[in-house]
Structure 1
Amino acid sequence: MASFYKWYNARLAARPLLTQCTSTGVLFGVGDGLAQVIAPDPELGGKYDYVRTLRMVFHGGVVFAPLVSQWYKLIGTKINVPGKPFTEALARMTADQLIWAPFGIASFYVSMGVLQGHSFETIKGELKAKYYPTMMGNYLVWPAVQIVNFRFMPLEYRLLFVNVVSIAWNTFLSWFSAVPAPEGIAVLEEAEHKFEELEHRAEAKILKKGE
């Protein structure tokens, strides 16, 4: 781990943007690989779709990384609350989730659609069907992650931290973008119902113990 840290620091010092873009692309690809292992595309008969992984790598390394690295620099210089580190992190997280998150998710679906050669109308339909559920999932995960990121991580490591946490998120994004909207939303709704059932059972056990 120490050797990787030393190597990454050296690459970051020598070529910061290239290092960030490369690491981001690789980790986006890892997320897609996990998605294909967990939920193989039935239309491919269980075969691995390497082109799909390359699309994720391209989006992560060429679209996402350059934009978000500049975004982190911007809010790191423009949003400052001296002497109040938690308030500062909260303000940066709020800006990130209100400005970047909506744009970032839209850019993902547009990028995937363009790379697949879809028409404008098809991309528009994907956005209309999947944008809101994706945003709701985003707000369940990323506010807490970004508070930690902006509070404790140095600027040069924020993108890497997000990328590591994003492996699970990118797995979800890759799967959700690849399945038809009705099927994906139905799976999410079923998962939500199961989660609610687990919550109710846990609450019932707690109440029973308290009697």
Structure 2
Amino acid sequence: MAAATPLYRALVRRKIQFFRWQRSRNNPTNQQQQKRSQSSHNHNSNSNSSSSSNSNKPGHAREEDPVPVPSTVAALPLWQRLGPLTRAAQAYARSQRKRPYVTQVCTSLVIYLCADISAQRMNGKGYDPHRTVRSLIIGGLSSIPSYKWFVYLSHNFNYSSRILSLLVKIGINQACFTPLFNTYFFAMQALLVGDTLPEVWDRVRRTVPVSVVNSLKLWPAVTAFSFTFIPLEYRSVFAGTIAVGWQTYLAYLNRQAEEEEAREKMAHLSSHAQAQAQAHAQDQAHQALPETISDKIPKKATA
């Protein structure tokens, strides 16, 4: 018998494949088994974790359970879901981007107004409008330099370590900005009242060291939180909210210094008046002493 040629072997293989395909087509049971095997193979290859969690369930339950799809929409932060407050913050951010200087001046005026009114209410005395005007002048003049300073801090001293960046920014802010700003605040308060330069220096000497030490209890934590969690356009609002209480404290401290200076002036005037009265009494006594002596001498001579 002659050997089969390659063409003959190819025809035989093709015919065998055709017969197998036809038999599987006529037998629906085999077709379902093939589909199940293919679906189970695809399911196992795509989600191994899902198949392992559903291993104790029936087969039909595993096939009918839908595959959970994670949500692709990111959740909004809490401050963006506060309704009117969110819209007000967004309007402030737009104004900050368009007109930063005007926005900062208006923000500072509102902060200093609220702080001065709060400080005057704490004193329990009558309202002094001149004191409010002085506070508004001080706040308006310091608004732009303060804003530029914090923008400078935001854009500089940024290292690979986030903690190191925060520590450097807090240290520079406490070492440079806080003493200068407190000196400006108390010196301007004294100058606007009409004090002389020695009196201004005495006011600064009394108030600045105390305020700088007390600022260490508040502003490092506020600065760290602001640079970590607050966007740049909202940092002035956050710092302004804290600054209402801080400016209230500074105004209260300035008022205490004014009252202490007034008491010292009154004590100095009273002591000076007492000294003058004593000197006048001594002068009168010295003037009266020669008259008495001259009155006694002639009487002795005549006797």
Cα distance, 1:181 vs. partner? 6.2
What are the Cα deviations for residues 110-150 of structure 1, in whole angstroms up to 9, with x where unaligned? 12122222211111000111111111111111111111112
| Cross-structure match for 2:249 | 172
Cα distance, 1:182 vs. partner? 7.8
TM-score norm. by structure 1 comes to 0.77
SS at match of 2:159: coil
- Distance in 1, matches of 2:192 and 2:237, equals 25
| Cross-structure match for 1:69 | 147
What are the Cα deviations for residues 96-120 of structure 1, in whole angstroms up to 9, with x where unaligned? 0111111111111112122222211
| Cross-structure match for 2:136 | 57
State whether residues 68 and 159 of structure 1, in contact with CA within 8 Å, keep that contact through their aligned partners in structure 2. Answer: no
State whether residues 59 and 111 of structure 1, in contact with CA within 8 Å, keep that contact through their aligned partners in structure 2. Answer: yes
Q: Structure 1 residues 180, 107: closer, same or farther in 2, change over 3 A?
A: closer
1:99-118 paired onto structure 2 within 5 Å: 99-118=176-195
SS at match of 2:127: coil
| Cross-structure match for 1:137 | 214
Q: Structure 1 residues 48, 182: closer, same or farther in 2, change over 3 A?
A: closer
- Distance in 2, matches of 1:10 and 1:169, equals 27
- Distance in 1, matches of 2:203 and 2:159, equals 39
State whether residues 93 and 234 of structure 2, in contact with CA within 8 Å, keep that contact through their aligned partners in structure 1. Answer: no
Q: Structure 1 residues 145, 52: closer, same or farther in 2, change over 3 A?
A: same
Q: Which has the higher contact order (CA 8 A, sep 6+)?
A: 1
| Cross-structure match for 1:124 | 201
Cα distance, 1:179 vs. partner? 2.2
Q: Considering only CA atoms, is the larger Rg found in Structure 1 or Structure 2?
A: 2
SS at match of 1:140: coil
Q: State how many pairs are aligned.
A: 177
Q: Structure 1 residues 115, 183: closer, same or farther in 2, change over 3 A?
A: closer
SS at match of 1:179: helix
SS at match of 1:80: coil
Letter in 1 for 2:148: Q
- Distance in 2, matches of 1:3 and 1:164, equals 18
1:4 to 88, 96, 101: 88
Choose between structure 1 and 2: higher helix proportion: 1
Q: Could you say what the CA RMSD is over the residues aligned between the two structures, in angstroms?
A: 1.8
